[in-house]
Structure 1
Amino acid sequence: MVKTAGQSLSLKEVLRTSVGVMGENSRGLTEKVVLSKCRLYTVKRFWKVIVRKSEFGRRVERLAQVCNKCDYLVPITAYLYAKRIKLVVLDFYPMGSLADLLSGGRRQTALNWNERLRIIDSITRAVAFIHGQSPPTEKSMKMNVHGNIKSSNIMINNDLTARLSDYEFVQLADCIEDSESKERSRTTNNIYSEDLSQKSDVFNLESIKEGDSTFFEFHAKGKERKQAFKVLEIALASTNTLPETRPSIEQILLKLSKLFNTSK
């Protein structure tokens, strides 16, 4: 195990201390583990890494540096590149993801509008920080694009602010899809964009609100209802089929900042 933030772990320790699978997708497996000082961490195991060992390490180290500079990105603690297992260790969030909250899996009461707006604001700031990275490219790796924004990668803090996870993981590992999952993606109404670009980041960020009907399932009236419609308008503009017509993340952040200030 290579250190990234003062943490040195062995493969045996990571595998032995797993306490449960949190999720699985075509890119890998997410587990909860208990490591040093009984602290919980999240481990992301990749099925198909697309770079060699030295390049994998260089990329993760660089991503960790960027994440540690932003309060809205999930910190990377450590990583491992072994013959059969490649993984990244991240901070653990007991509240789970936005997908968990919207499905009712981690909280008995539904999120109110101000809480939803706080989460939107946090993640928009995370994307703005990523898009502002300079230089935009470092040794064939795009630094100013996230590449995989979705509700399951939005982790929730106890105060209901949020952090964005899996920054640039699409440039570490490929997806592995079987024929069944490919057919399911083809036949379902999936509006997720896989292009590695800032305009696709904007599309995927806003499609969380537009495409996930549960995001707007809450009781609201008066000012909150007007704010919700304005957020939906931003989402509709950002998911236009023509990328060049979508607003930049800075434009979105400016509009949301005005809404966020009026909600206080």
Structure 2
Amino acid sequence: MMNRALTPRARRSYKYDEDSCRSMSIHEYEEFMVGFKEDVPLKFCDQDRKGKGKLVYQLEEAPPQQITLKEALRASVGVLGESPLGMTEKVVLLGGKTCAVKRFRMVVVKRVEFGRRVEMVAQISSQCEFLVPLFAYLYAKRIKLVVSDYYPMGSLADLLSGARERGQTALEWGQRLQIVVSIAQAIAFIHSQPHHSHKDKDMYLNIHGNIKSSNVMVNVDFTARLADYGFAQLAARTDHCGTPHLIRSNFRFSETLSQKSDVYNFGVILLDVLGIKKSDVIKKGKMMMSSCFEFDVEGKEKRQALGAWDIALACTKKLPEERPDMEQVLALMYDVKKVTI
């Protein structure tokens, strides 16, 4: 044991190689920072938002300043979540701006294509108020990341689990409905995009590919923004994250890259928001479904919740061709929201 302790370890080289697709694993992070000597600037996405020109990371009143990799890593103040794609951290930068940084474990494209795809996703996201905007990214040998806005309310998954597992205040039906309508608007917007970009015919711009409650970021007014658009076409899923994609409804998250899978995953979120277990559906049937909700509803709200349940069942049909398209789903969600009596 003593001999092992006194034996010097071989030093690793951390010089960046832009031809490598492998990202640094989460467990290499501390060792990486010890050996880290070079610094690399992050690249900003060249996009416009609300007529303010190129988006920079500082607060509105702060002067323009460059973000570097070292600053981004050292500014991390906590892990927001992990998934098969990578890890998301909360980062507070020197200018006072709080951001979310997604670090991928294993990307599937080379440097130039990675940047091109992030730029395309950022451009599309900036056009929809229900998608999380991206504004910077980095592709280096051991680090591949994107930087986006941070939402202090957290994700839909956080809010639902907080009430179910930690006794926090549960969402009311009106808040849940507002959130799921926002998600439907985001998905419908994505599905309306061209099938391919003229710059990259291997990138499907009209598919999200990773719709789940942990990727739904909630605003203070209970509208929502959908995160991780296009990330399933940047990074490979790995087995580092042992949390299965299961929710309270017992329906499984679909990893297939298609619009019909996006619709299915929206239905899974809708069932989770309703708090319905699949076993309860089988046992009680539709006439007793209102007693299966995890919130109290009567009158108009009860009819809205039952209407949302019908939509969820249509979205989660076993055969993809039997599921509605997202434009139809959004129209049905609007009808649910309009119920008045």
Give the alignment's TM-score, normalised by structure 1. 0.92
Q: Residue 210 of structure 1 is aligned with which of 259, 268, 271?
A: 271
Distance 2:216 2:272 in 1: 15
More divergent stretch after superposition (19-28 vs 52-61): 19-28
Matched, 1:57 2:135: no
Larger strand percent = 1
Larger Rg: 2
Question: Which amino acid in 2 is paired with 1:86?
Answer: K
Q: What is the match of residue 258 of structure 2?
A: 197
Contact 1:191/1:211 (8 A) holds in 2 = no
Matched, 1:172 2:234: yes
Q: What is the match of residue 18 of structure 1?
A: 76
Return the offset for 1:10: 0.4
Return the offset for 1:208: 1.2
Return the offset for 1:39: 1.1
Return the offset for 1:181: 3.7
Q: What is the match of residue 2 of structure 1?
A: 43
Return the offset for 1:36: 4.2
Distance 2:332 2:103 in 1: 37
Return the offset for 1:190: 5.2
Task: State the superposition RMSD in angstroms.
Answer: 2.2
Return the offset for 1:22: 1.0
Q: What is the match of residue 246 of structure 1?
A: 323
Secondary structure of the residue aligned to 2:95 is helix
Matched, 1:262 2:304: no
Distance 2:133 2:98 in 1: 13
Matched, 1:78 2:136: yes
Matched, 1:115 2:175: yes
Q: What is the match of residue 226 of structure 1?
A: 303
Runs of 5+ consecutive residues of structure 1 not aligned to the other structure: none
Contact 2:245/2:252 (8 A) holds in 1 = no
Return the offset for 1:176: 1.1
Runs of 5+ consecutive residues of structure 2 not aligned to the other structure: 1-41, 46-54, 58-65, 277-292
Secondary structure of the residue aligned to 1:232 is helix
Q: What is the match of residue 196 of structure 2?
A: 137
Change (3 A) 1:190 1:237: closer
Bigger relative CO (Cα 8 Å, ≥ 6 apart): 1
Contact 2:317/2:323 (8 A) holds in 1 = yes
Return the offset for 1:75: 0.4
Contact 2:251/2:268 (8 A) holds in 1 = no
Contact 2:300/2:339 (8 A) holds in 1 = no
Question: Which amino acid in 1 is paired with 2:254?
Answer: S
Distance 1:58 1:6 in 2: 19
Q: How much identity, in percent, do the aligned residues show? A: 52
Distance 2:105 2:171 in 1: 34
Distance 1:68 1:21 in 2: 25
Q: How many residue pairs are counted as aligned between the two chains?
A: 260
Question: Which amino acid in 2 is paired with 1:117?
Answer: L
Give the alignment's TM-score, normalised by structure 2. 0.72
Q: Residue 209 of structure 2 is aligned with which of 128, 137, 147?
A: 147
Secondary structure of the residue aligned to 1:95 is coil
User: What are the Cα deviations for residues 147-191 of structure 1, in whole angstroms up to 9, with x where unaligned?
Assistant: 00000000000111000000010000001116x949x679x9551
Question: Which amino acid in 2 is paired with 1:74?
Answer: V
Contact 1:114/1:263 (8 A) holds in 2 = no
Distance 1:116 1:153 in 2: 15
User: What are the Cα deviations for residues 30-66 of structure 1, in whole angstroms up to 9, with x where unaligned?
Assistant: 1000114211100000000000001000000110000
More divergent stretch after superposition (254-263 vs 74-83): 254-263
Return the offset for 1:217: 1.3
